[in-house]
């Protein structure tokens, strides 16, 4: 299993070695994209389950786990479990990092976030 952090370090090292103009943000996006595609055949799914999608959309929309749980009729602990499962599957270090990876890879999109938040804020 390829790890996002290790790949990111390798991408930045290669960019420096070959004098390529690559920002840290670009290296993050590239690394996340490559890891998602490289791990597709592994035991970690590259797609979000409906529950994981709802949990990440809630997080991206600024909801707490408790608020997301109330909105969809699930417990706060269940939402936290779905979020944690997705963080691990995406190789994310945190909730915002998982959301960034999911958006950058096309697993989450703006229309999903508007639905969760009740439209534009």
From first to last of the 121 residues of the chain, give the pLDDT tens digit: 556 667 778 888 888 888 888 888 788 777 777 766 665 555 444 566 777 778 888 888 888 999 988 888 889 999 888 888 878 777 788 888 888 877 777 777 666 665 554 544 3
| CB-facing half-sphere around the CA of 32: CA atoms within 13 A | 24
Nearest to 106, CA basis, from 1, 32, 14, 39: 32
Element (H, E) at 9: helix 4-17
Terminal-residue alpha carbon distance, the chain: 39
Q: Which fold has domain 50-117?
A: Arc Repressor Mutant, subunit A (1.10.10)
In the chain, list all ranges with CATH 1.10.10.10.
50-117
Looking at residue 109, what DSSP letter applies? -
What is the token pair recorded at 5? 């952090």
Q: Which are the contacts of 79, defined by CB distance < 8 A and separation ≥ 6?
A: 55, 58, 65, 66, 68, 69
- pTM value is 0.53
């Amino acid at each position: 299993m390829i790890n996002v952090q290790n790949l990111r370090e390798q991408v930045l090292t290669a960019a420096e070695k070959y004098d390529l103009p690559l920002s840290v943000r670009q290296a993050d996006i590239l690394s996340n994209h490559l890891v998602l595609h490289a791990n597709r055949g592994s035991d970690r799914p590259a797609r979000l389950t409906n529950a994981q999608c709802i949990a990440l959309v809630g997080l991206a929309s600024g909801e707490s786990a408790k608020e997301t749980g109330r909105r969809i009729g699930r417990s706060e602990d269940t939402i936290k479990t779905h979020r944690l499962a997705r963080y691990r599957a995406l190789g994310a270090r945190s909730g915002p990092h998982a959301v960034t990876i999911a958006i950058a890879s096309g697993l989450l999109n703006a229309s999903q976030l508007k639905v969760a938040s009740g439209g534009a804020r």
